[in-house]
A and B are shown apart, each in its own frame.
Chain A
Amino acid sequence: MSGDTLTRRVRKNSAFWLQCLLGLALLALVVLVFRTTQSNLELLGVQSGFDFLWKKAGFSISQHLIPYTEDSPIWTALAVAILNTLLLAVFCVLLASILGLAVGIGRLSSNWLVARLSLAYLELFRNIPVLLQIFFWYYVALRALPSFESSIFITDYLVLNNRGLYFPFIEFGNGFSISPPVMGRFAYEGGFYLMPEFLALWIGLSLYNGSYISEIVRSGFQSVARGQWEAGAALGLKPAAVLRRVAFPQALRAILPPLTTVYMNMFKATSLAAAIAYPEIVSVFVGTVNNLAGRPVEVMAVTLAFYAGVSFLVAWLMGRWNKRITLRGQ
């Protein structure tokens, strides 16, 4: 008996020392990398520090949700880029969720054609790299749109051409007025518009991730016990009502955790914008600012911090939502 405690103590002790050593080794590695980087940067004469964020940017960004000119400081350019990233991410989450929900429910349809087409959508879009899909929309599909002289008028107020999708002006000046986009010398002017780069990313990312969401939705609904559907029907609810009132809330429990993962993947995939010309954070910061400011370490650190920050925030929020809808006692 005492021998047993002895071994346990020795083992515990050795575990303690092992961890000490490991900690030391890790620390040593971090110090080593830090020192090497420092000496490399010194050797190269590269300046360091975050003061560049307050310098004048001197470049223009085509889409900015907040006021921005070439005279604005670089941190404003960063804010513009972050907002552009988030705008794209929110649009993608919305469209992909709608698509995923529709197709996921379509998979369960009793109509053979609907079920098969839903499956075809899933298999088609899931098995093609998302970058290729984005390129297809950007370089092939959107390029086929007419030039601005012969734009497509979806309505008088919504104009589509190879320069983007133009929305009407909404003015709140004296009273409230909506006026259609106006044709200028080179393009439609004024009002808000979505650039083709945005459209390509939006469509590409949504279709790709929508396929994953549809699969999650399908298996979520299938995880709802058969008795629940029958019970709903027995209560005299219409199938649509059973779906909405009975099955959906239960399916949500199975859907939410994997859905979080897909949302996160989609958010991360917005960085593919750097491959076409949408000014989100990777494109503006790693592309333009890095070359202007010559501070690779700082620029990368800001970019990584942004992605890590948003990811942890989303994980935390979805975790809380998940906790709220989880059955007590489960």
Chain B
Amino acid sequence: MESWRAMAACVLVLAPAVFPADEAGADTLSDVLDRGKLRCAVIEASPGFSSIDANGRRYGFDIDNCRTVAAAVLGDADAIEYVPINPNTAFTTLQSGGADVFPGGATWTFLRDTSLGLDYTGAYLYAGQGFVVRRASGVSSISELEGATICVAQGTTNEQNLADYFRARRMKYSIVTFADVERGLNAYLADRCDAFTTEVFSLAGRIVALRNPDEHRILGEVISKEPFSGLVRQGDPRWRDIVFWAFNSRVAAEEFGLTMSNVEGIRASTEDAEIRRFLGVEGGFGQQLGLSDEWAYQIVAQVGNYGEVFARHFEPLGLQRGLNALWRDGGLMIAMPYR
């Protein structure tokens, strides 16, 4: 008889659950505020983008992207719970709510934008797909890679670009696909492949970090455009806006001449109306996003402007601004206006 009652109770409990009244849309912002932490998806061990130092602290361009969003939303650039992912679980982790934002290494493409249930939040880094070969092989251009074995990371645009490029030129090649960039590169280093391909930023970062970078050569050409953008779940326009404007703020700060060290002083003294709106002195722009008014100030004060972030992580690797310079310096970085 006891089991009877237990069963009945079970059914009573389950019945309402089968017909849930819950049809509310996702609200990532309030989830993050409730949690007090931003869940940021990062790819582990990608020099320049995401590394861990000897004390277990993360640093890199992607990490600063996470910190940018956390500073804007929570006012604390370090209130982050990192969610380590592989390229081949990145999208599903985000789709399924395992992370609030994936700010690193995702190329903005038509199909991904339209079919994955994800939204891009604006390009923040322009790269291209390049190749590294051993100097000893004597290869100096991509066209000489006919018949070569090429290592690549799985489920990335690199895998498809490679196929498209070689097919269009009717060049034969064989491919070995690894679960992530790191394993692919290690396989190349161990002479499993004649070349390794990924976008040039992370390629350069990884080659520089080697013990014998001179033995390798990054070919001059690139075979694709790789505009990197943050990714969020589809169906939450406010959250997408927040991430977009958080990234935009770093570029704007560089245009305004704001840096980590001078932002506090300028906030107190500036008469420029746009900078005053930007830093939350007037206009109440933060509230429009559901954030505190000093959201952009926190980004600049805790993370820095775009140029500072770029210099911090990519200059030690010997990378130039190039396409990623401000528009007025001939690059593609342009901040949407704050008005």
Contact = CB atoms under 8 A, between A and B. Distances in A.
A158 interface: no
A32 B18 contact: yes
Given A186-B148, A283-B177, A292-B155, A25 B88 contact: no
B117 A46 contact: yes
Interface stretch (B7-15, B203-211, B308-316): B7-15
A148 to B, nearest CB: 9
A187 B163 contact: no
A291 B109 CA distance: 13
B91 A291 contact: yes
Given A43-B25, A294-B116, A197 B176 contact: yes
Interface size class of A (residues with CB under 8 A): 35 or more
B235 A45 contact: yes
B268 interface: no
Interface residues of B, number: 59
B176 A58 contact: no
B301 interface: no
Interface stretch (A14-22, A111-119, A236-244, A246-254): A14-22
Contacts of B96: 40, 296
Interface centre among B17, B18, B96, B162 (most CB of A within 10 A): B18
Contacts of A43: 25-26, 235
Interface stretch (A223-231, A258-266, A271-279, A307-315): A271-279
A131 to B, nearest CB: 13
Given A21-B11, A36-B20, A291 B147 contact: no
A154 to B, nearest CB: 20
Given A28-B18, A185-B146, A58 B177 contact: no
Contacts of A139: 190
Contacts of B162: 60
A147 B191 contact: yes
A35 B155 contact: no
Interface in B178-235: 178-179, 183-184, 187, 190-192, 194, 233-235
Contacts of A14: 1, 4
Given A44-B234, A46-B95, A283-B154, A186 B25 contact: no
A319 interface: no
Interface string A120-142: 00000000000000000001000
B163 A60 contact: yes
B159 interface: yes
Contact of A18 (B4, B155, B176, B177): B4
Interface in B1-35: 1, 3-4, 7-8, 10-11, 14-15, 17-18, 20, 23, 25-26
Interface centre among A17, A43, A163 (most CB of B within 10 A): A43
A246 B278 CA distance: 90
Contact of A294 (B18, B117, B194): B117
A59 B164 CA distance: 8
Interface string B251-274: 000000000000000000000000
Given A21-B8, A58-B160, A185-B148, A44 B233 contact: yes
Contacts of A275: 179
Interface string A275-310: 111010001001110111110100000000000000
A70 interface: yes
Contact of A187 (B87, B147, B151): B147
B167 interface: yes
A163 B179 contact: no
Given A32-B17, A44-B95, A186 B176 contact: no
A184 B147 contact: yes
Contacts of B192: 143, 162-163, 196
Contacts of B140: none
A162 B155 contact: no
A18 B7 contact: yes
A122 B229 CA distance: 52
A125 B183 CA distance: 26
Contact of B191 (A40, A162, A288): A162
Contact of B175 (A41, A60, A287): A60
Nearest to B17: A32
Nearest 7 A-B pairs (CB), nearest first?
Answer: A291-B155, A44-B117, A46-B117, A294-B116, A45-B117, A21-B7, A70-B163
Given A47-B115, A197-B176, 5 more contacts: A14-B4, A32-B17, A46-B117, A195-B176, A283-B154
